[in-house]
Structure 1
Amino acid sequence: MVDHAPGTSGSINSYENEEILTWKHPMHIFQRILALIFMCLIGFGSYFCYDNPGALQDNFLKDLNLTTSQFVYLYTWYSWPNVILCFVGGFLIDRVFGLRLGTIIYALLVVIGQVVFASGAYFNRLWIMLLGRLIFGIGGESLAVAQNSYAVLWFKGKELNMVFGFQLSFARVGSTVNFLVMEPLYQYIKTVFNFPDNKSMAFVLFAASLTCVISLMSSLILAWQDKRAERLLHRKLPSAEEVVKITDVKNFNKSFWLVTFIIVCYYTSIFPFVALGKVFFEKKYHFSSGEANIINGIIYSSGAFLAPLFGIIIDKTGRNLFWVFISIFGTLVAHLLLTLTYVNPYIAMLTMGTSYSMLASALWPLIAMVVPERQMGTAYGIAQSVENLGLGTVALLTGIIVDADGYFLVELFFCLLLSVAILLASILWLSDSLGKKELNMSIKERKQLQLIKNSDPEEQNLLNDALNED
C-alpha cells in the first residue's frame, strides 16, 4: 500500500482501517490493478513503434536506399529534440497541463508522429519520415514521464519497484511483439498485395500505428479513473510555496544527478545496440533475418517476464543499489561475450536481458526517493532529457563507426559506457553509505525510518538510537 500519495489529505493507509472497502473505492485492490493495467498500456504503442526501424533494418536500407548513418537518423531525430522537450514535457505536467491532460496530449502526439512516419515511407521522402520520428519522440518520451508520475502517484511505497517492473514488462512486450511480427507482416503485405517496396513498408507502419491508438484510449480511461480518485480521496492542490518552478532544478541533490548519469551510460549501451543488432547478428553469426530478429528481441522478451519478478524481489528485500550494481556488471559481461568470443549469443543475450530487467526495477524508483513528490514530473523529465542527449549522441556515433570500421569497435564502445556506469554506481553507493544510507536500505530499515518520520520528536530520538544500534 502507498504510504502517502502526492497531494492527499493524509495517509492512504487510513483507508485500510475502514470496515467496508468496496471494489469501487480508489484504494481497493481491484481499482489499483485496473489503474496499473492502463498505466502499462499507455506505453505499449510507443515502445512497439519505437523499434519498428530496428525490426526492419535491412528492409529500410534496401527499400529506401539508406546508408547505415541515414538509418540511424530515425533514432537520433527521436532522441535529440527530447534533450530539451522531455524536460519541458515533465515541467508542463507539473505546472501547466496537469498529469491527466498532459498524458492525453502526449499520447495523441505519438499517434500523429507514427502516421506521419508511415506517410514518409509511402512517399519515399526521408525528411517526412524524420519529421514523423520527431513528433513521435516528443510524445513518446514525455508520455514515459507521465507514466512514471502516475506510478508514483498511485503506488509510492513498498509496491513501487514492482510497478516499475510491470511497466517495463508491458513496454517490452510491445517491443518483443514488434520484433516478432513486423518482418512477417512486411513479407505478407509485399507478397499478397504486390506493392512497390516503399509502399509495403508504409502499410506495415500504418498498421503499427493502431497500437498507438490503443495507448491513447488507455490514457483517456486512466484520466477518468484518476479524476474520480482525486475527488473521492480529497487530494489537496499544491500551495503557493509548493508550486513547481524551473529554478527548482538547481536544488536537486547529487544523488539525483548520479542516478541520471547512470541511466544515460547504461541505456546508451542497450537501445543503440538493439537498433543495429539485427545486422550484427546476421553478419557475425550468420543468422537469417528472422533468426536475427528473434535473438535481438531477447533483451525485451526476457524483460517482459523477468521485470515484474525482480520488482517483487526488490520490494521484499530493498537494497536497490546492490541490484543496480549487479545488473550493470551483468550487462558488461554480456557485451564482452559478444565482443571477444563466439560463444552462443543466446547466452549473452539472456544475460543482458536478465540484467536489463533487474536494473529497470531497481534504478528508476531511486528518483522517487531523492526528489519531492510535487517535482516528480520535472525530475523524471530531466532524467529522460539527459538520457536522450546520450542516446542521440551515441546513436549518431555508432552509425558512423559501423560505416567506417564495423561492429567490433562499436561493441568496445558499449563496454566503455558500462564501465563508466559501474564507476558512477560505486560513487553513488559510497556517497549514500557516508550520508543518509536511504538508497540501499533493507525493507526493514525503511519501515523503521518511516516510523521515525511519522513519530513525535521524543519518539524520533528513541527510534533513531535503536536504528543506529542495528
Structure 2
Amino acid sequence: MTADSLAPSARPLPPPFYRWVVLLFVSLAMFGNYYVYDSMAPVFDLLKERLAFSDQQLGLLYTVYSIAAILVLLAGGYVIDRFGTKRSIALFAVVCVVAAVVTAATGRLPVMLSGRFLLGLGSEPLIVAVTTALARWFKGKELSLAFGLNLTIARLGSVAADLSPSWARPFYRDWQSPLWLATAIAGITLSAALLYWLLEHRAEGRYQLGSAGAVDRLERGGLYSFSASYWYIVALCVVFYSVVFPFRAFAIKYFIEAHGASRELGGLLNSMLPFAAMVATPLFGYLVDRVGRRSLFMTLGSLLLLPLFLGATYLPPGREVSLWLPFLGQFTAPLTLLVIMALLGIAFSLIPAVMWPSVAYIVEERRLGSAYALMTLCQQVGMAFVPWFIGVLNDRFAAGPANPAGYAPGMWLFTLLASLGLLFSFLLWRAEHGPRAHGLETITIRKEEEKQGDD
C-alpha cells in the first residue's frame, strides 16, 4: 500500500527537509514581493527630474497601493479560503508580476498608478496566503522560527531595493530601467510560487498536512466591545506606520535633495531600517518575553522616535564617516544622519516586536483574527493618507535641492504623528497599571511556564 492510497490521517508527516524547502520557496516569493514594493523610492528623484512628477503625485504611488490593500482586507481572505494556499499564492504572484510590468511600461502617471494599485491587490493577500501556508506546514513544529526566517528573507527584499543604486548602478541612468529590474525580480516571486504549487500538490497525495486554520478576517459584529488597551495599540499602530513607511518612501529623495547625498548613500541610509528590523526585532521579542513590561517598551520606542525627524532637519551634519561594505564599496556619510537612522532602526524594530504580539494578551482567542484584521485595516488607512499629504506639503513649500528647508513641514508632521504615538503608548501604559490590566507588564515566559506546571 502506498502513501497515496492511505487516508489523510494515516499518511506520514512531511519530512523536515521537505518543510524547509517549502519555507525557502514561499520566502523567496516574499523577497520579490517586498523588493517590488520598495523599488519605487530609489527612482523618486528621477521621476521628478525626467517626468516632471510633483511630490504629491509621487506620494500617490504609495497611496493607491494602500487603498487597494484596504479593499483586499475588507474582502476578508475569501479567495484563500475558496481556492486554497497553492492556487492563491500563484494567483497573487501573477498579479504582482503584471503590476510590476504595468508600472514600468510607461511614464504616464495614470498607468503607473494603476500598476501600483494592482500591486496592492496582489501583494497584501500574498502575504496572508504565505502566512496561511506556513501555518499549514509548520503548526506544531517550528512555527515561530519559520515565521521569523520568512520575515527575515522578505525584508532582505527591502534592503536589496534600497541598496540597488549601488549594486545595480548601471540601471539608474534613467527612471525606467530600475523598474524593469524590479519586474525581473518579481519573476522570482512567480517562479517560487509555482514551485511551491508543485511541492504542495506532490505532498497532498503523500503526506499528512496540517490545517491552516481560519484566515484572519474582519468580523464587523462586536468591534465596539474591544477594550481601551486594544484601541490604544491600534492607534499607536496607525501613527507608527504612518510615520515610518511614508518617510521611507521619500527618504532617498530627501537625503539627495536636502543633504546633498548621492543616490547610493541615500539608499544605504534608508536600508538601515529594514536591516535593523531583520537583526533586532527577534532580539527585542526575546527580551520582552522574558521581562514583560510591554507597554513600557512601546512607550520607550515612541519616545525614541520623537526627536529624530527634527534632528535630521536642524542638527549640523557632524563629521564625515567612511564606511566600506562588501560588494557595495566605499561610502562617506555624515555622522548625524548615521546616528539618526540607526536610532530610527531601533525604534522600527522595538515597537512592532512588542506591539503585534501584545494583542494576543488583550483579545480573547476566538476574536483574535478580527482584532488583527481591524488593526491592519486601520494601519493601511493611515498609510494611504500620509504619503499623499507629505507630497502636498513638499510641493506647497517648494522642497528641493534649491530649497532644502521646504522639507521641514513634512518632518514636523512626522514629529506630530510620533508625539501622538507617545501619547497613545503612555495611555496604554497607564491602563495596564490600572484595575483592568491585561498583564502586558507582568506576563513573562517563566510565569507562563510556572502557571502551566501548576495546572
TM bucket, shorter chain:
0.7 to 0.9
Q: Which residue does the alignment assign to 1:419?
A: 419
Matched, 1:232 2:208: yes
C-alpha contact (below 8 Å) 1:161/1:365 kept by paired residues: no
Q: CA deviation at 1:234?
A: 5.8
Matched, 1:128 2:129: no
Q: Tell me which moved more, 269-278 or 438-447.
A: 438-447
Matched, 1:218 2:203: no
1:413-452 equivalences under 5 Å are 413-433=413-433, 434-435=435-436, 437-440=438-441, 441-450=443-452
C-alpha contact (below 8 Å) 1:40/1:167 kept by paired residues: yes
Instruction: Decide which of 89, 112, 132 is 2:98's aligned counterpart.
Output: 112
Aligned mates of 1:91, 1:252 — CA distance in 2: 25
Measured at CA, do residues 134 and 285 of structure 1 come closer, stay the same or move farther in structure 2, by a change above 3 Å?
same
Q: CA deviation at 1:232?
A: 2.0
C-alpha contact (below 8 Å) 2:216/2:372 kept by paired residues: no
Equivalences, count: 415
Q: Which residue does the alignment assign to 2:279?
A: 305
Measured at CA, do residues 317 and 215 of structure 1 come closer, stay the same or move farther in structure 2, by a change above 3 Å?
farther
Q: Which amino acid aligns with 1:356?
A: F
Measured at CA, do residues 322 and 111 of structure 1 come closer, stay the same or move farther in structure 2, by a change above 3 Å?
farther
Q: Which residue does the alignment assign to 1:169?
A: 152
Q: Which runs of 5+ in 2 are unaligned?
A: 1-8, 318-335, 398-405
1:184-333 equivalences under 5 Å are 185=168, 187-188=170-171, 190=173, 197=174, 201-222=175-196, 228=203, 232=208, 235=211, 246-248=219-221, 250=223, 253-254=226-227, 255-333=229-307
C-alpha contact (below 8 Å) 2:22/2:199 kept by paired residues: yes
Instruction: Decide which of 329, 345, 354 is 2:346's aligned counterpart.
Output: 354
Identical-residue share of aligned pairs (%): 27
Aligned mates of 1:236, 1:269 — CA distance in 2: 33
Secondary structure at the counterpart of residue 168 of structure 2: helix
Q: CA deviation at 1:383?
A: 2.5
Secondary structure at the counterpart of residue 81 of structure 1: helix
Q: Which residue does the alignment assign to 1:365?
A: 357
Residues 194-253 of structure 1 show CA distances to partners (whole Å, capped at 9, x for unaligned) of xxx4xxx33432221232232234345556667858962664978xxx997844563772
Q: Which amino acid aligns with 1:429?
A: W
Aligned mates of 1:164, 1:174 — CA distance in 2: 16
Measured at CA, do residues 244 and 87 of structure 1 come closer, stay the same or move farther in structure 2, by a change above 3 Å?
closer
Q: CA deviation at 1:130?
A: 0.7
Q: Which amino acid aligns with 1:70?
A: Q
Aligned mates of 1:205, 1:82 — CA distance in 2: 21
Residues 137-184 of structure 1 show CA distances to partners (whole Å, capped at 9, x for unaligned) of 111122233344456666689977766554443232111111212466
Secondary structure at the counterpart of residue 40 of structure 2: helix
1:42-191 equivalences under 5 Å are 42-90=29-77, 92-93=79-80, 95-119=81-105, 121=106, 124-150=107-133, 165-182=148-165, 185=168, 187-188=170-171, 190=173
Q: CA deviation at 1:370?
A: 4.7
C-alpha contact (below 8 Å) 2:165/2:264 kept by paired residues: no
Aligned mates of 1:243, 1:347 — CA distance in 2: 38
Aligned mates of 1:243, 1:364 — CA distance in 2: 14
Aligned mates of 2:448, 2:423 — CA distance in 1: 26
Q: Which runs of 5+ in 1 are unaligned?
A: 1-8, 10-23, 191-196, 456-470
Q: CA deviation at 1:108?
A: 2.4
Aligned mates of 2:89, 2:226 — CA distance in 1: 27
Aligned mates of 1:156, 1:319 — CA distance in 2: 28
Secondary structure at the counterpart of residue 270 of structure 1: helix
Q: CA deviation at 1:283?
A: 3.2
